[in-house]
A and B are shown apart, each in its own frame.
Chain A
Amino acid sequence: MADTAKKIFIKGLWEENPIFRQVLGVCSTLAVTNLLVNTLFMCFGVMFTTALSSLTISILRNYIPRRIRMIVQVLIIASYVMMVDIIIKALNPDIHRFIGPYVGLIITNCIIMGRAEAFASQNRPWSSFIDGIASGLGYSLILVAIALIREPLGFGTILGYVLPAREVWWHQWTIMVMPPGAFFMLAIATWIGRNLSPATPKRQG
């Protein structure tokens, strides 16, 4: 548990990547990756919530009774998600209309609960904050990668800009922006990810 900040960061970002290594938080991964804009807003929400809720839970970790810790954690997370919800609504109401329910679902995103339970409830505030940011970034990394494949293939656009190929020869591959495309892309991402980073030995914690 005497990990340095850098080690914790790399662990969360790659070695124990929440998506392909721990398979957490996949619901929102699938739902919001058909457009890159939606994905970026969602990544912002998840990073904000993991970092700050890990920090808060870690500060309060010695005051929360063990029996009711789950509900306390859920409440802390829910308050941050409420803030994210209001921020996104203020910044961009159109996007909020589309990803609104999924922003609410950050509360039950297992990455955040998982980090709170596995890391923040036993570690110092500063390392918990780093851990939260790293996990959020690891999540964003995979999400952006998947969105970068799904949006051009499905709509022929990137961030709303029409790619030249769409006008000439590219026929839009609709299945990529529909649910099955999401499942296949995530499966491939998991497959590649697991081959690139061979299984780390079991955690001591």
Chain B
Amino acid sequence: MTAIQDMSLFTSIIVIFISAAFTDNILLARFLGMCSCLGVSKKVDTSMGLGAAVVFVTASTAALNYLVYQYILIPFHLEFLRLITFIIVIAAFVQLIEMIIERFSPALYNALGIFLPLITVNCAILGISLFMLNKPYGFWQTFAFGLGGGFGWFLAITLIGGIREKIREESLPNGLAGPGITLIIIGIMSLAFVGFSGMIKI
């Protein structure tokens, strides 16, 4: 905890990014975003589409929520309203982005379009905003935390998508196909990511 304040801003940003993406992977160590992960990770390209959207939205909403929390909620002593405020910020942001993309880049809208509404109820996004409250971060560090968390999620869901594509044709025991086997795959991947823990402490 103390180390992060002693570092220069640039170093701390890099450390936070790496630790959020690997040692504290939001999907494999914090269990967030499982629902959409189990639902969408059937193929690599859809996984990557949703992953990219999540990276963008987590980074932006973490920064936005940081500003709202520090400069609106704390001065007015409204911290107990944080849950409802954060979810409104996220929902409004996603809606806004959807409209902007639809207007300016129909190609990107078609690629990303169906994933955007899913993101509002993706717990990884709200989770990042809630976890940042417990950390002594400044604005840019929060942004790095959001970006790293999103990137970790992107990495995990893409890998899972790749493995699921490979095992689609295999025959599995009754009842294990679908979510069951996916959870076992995630468990094995999570074992690998547990190996990262302790590498960096934040």
Residue positions of A touching B, CB distance < 8 A: 23-28, 30-31, 70-71, 74-75, 78-79, 81-82, 85-86, 100-101, 104-105, 107-110, 113, 175, 178-184, 186-187, 190-195
Contacts of A28 in B (CB 8 A): 31
Which residues of chain B are within 8 angstroms of A109 by Cβ–Cβ distance? 123
Which of chain B's residues has its CB closest to A184's CB? B187
Known: A71-B91, A113-B121. A183 touches B127 (CB 8 A): no
Bound together, the chains give a CA A183 to CA B130 distance in angstroms of: 23
Q: How far is the CB of B196 from chain A (nearest CB, A)?
A: 12
**Complex CA–CA separation, A113 to B98 (angstroms):** 21
Contacts of B178 in A (CB 8 A): 23
A180 to B188, CA, bound (A): 7
Which residues of chain B from 139 to 194 have a CB within 8 Å of any chain A CB? 173-176, 178-181, 183-184, 186-188, 190-191, 193-194
B101 within 8 Å of A by Cβ? Answer: no
Q: B residues within 8 A CB of A107?
A: 83, 87, 126
**B185 CB, nearest partner CB in chain A, Å:** 9
Residues of B within 8 A of A (CB): 28-35, 38-39, 80-84, 86-88, 91, 117, 120-123, 125-127, 130-131, 133-134, 173-176, 178-181, 183-184, 186-188, 190-191, 193-194
Beyond A109-B123, A191-B175, A194-B180, whether A27 also contacts B80 by CB under 8 A is no
Are B194 and A183 in touch, CB under 8 angstroms?
no
In the complex, the answer to whether B130 meets A101 with C-beta atoms within 8 Å is: yes
CB neighbours (8 Å) of B126 from chain A are 104-105, 107-108
Measured CB to CB, the nearest residue on chain B to A85 is B83
CB neighbours (8 Å) of A187 from chain B are 176, 179-181, 183-184, 187
Given A108-B122, A179-B29, A187-B187, A26 contacting B84 (CB threshold 8 A): no
A27 touching B91, Cβ below 8 Å? no
- Asked whether, in the complex, the Cβ of B35 is within 8 Å of the Cβ of A26, the reply is yes
Q: List 25 A-B contacts (CB under 8 A).
A: A27-B127, A31-B30, A70-B91, A74-B120, A75-B87, A78-B87, A100-B130, A104-B83, A105-B130, A107-B83, A107-B87, A107-B126, A110-B121, A183-B184, A183-B186, A183-B190, A184-B184, A184-B187, A186-B183, A191-B175, A191-B180, A193-B175, A194-B180, A195-B174, A195-B175
A110 touches B35 (CB 8 A): yes
Distance of A193 Cα from B130 Cα, bound (Å): 32
Complex contact A183–B183 (CB within 8 A): yes
